[in-house]
Amino acid sequence: MSMHAFDELSEEELDRMERRVAAATVGPWLPDSAEAVNVSVIELGLCNELGTFKSIELVGASAADHEFIVNARQDVPRLLQEVRQLRARLQSLNTSLDDLEPHMRSAGEEAFLLSPSM
């Protein structure tokens, strides 16, 4: 698999992804192989009172495509949460660094003044 350079996700893009996740059928989505050739089924959410699931049939999907789609319902919300948490941590660290910068500059100037001259 090749790695591609991507632009940073904007807040608007993250918001759109979160809206799509919220609009999708509640998970977990579960694999269920159908008997027909080249057809696979993804069961959506939990079983209803009749003991049946809503489902999606994938025709011609590879096993890898099927696995990706099934797991995207669970993976995407977790990834979005991780992105939001990491951005919050980065913002906090940047704020701390901004707060420390004047003190570091002052300490550096004092160290320069106290060092023996050559």
Is residue 30 classed exposed, middle or buried when 0-12, 13-18 and 19+ CB atoms within 10 A define those classes? middle
Residue 31 DSSP code: E
74-106 pLDDT tens trace: 999 999 999 999 999 999 999 988 888 887 777
pTM assigned to the model: 0.67
Task: Give me the residue spans of the domains in the chain.
Answer: 11-113
Strand partners, 44: 54
Structure tokens, 60: 């011609």
**pLDDT value for 110:** 64
**pLDDT value for 34:** 53
53-64 pLDDT tens trace: 677 777 787 888
Identify the CA nearest to 83 among candidates 24, 6, 23, 27: 6
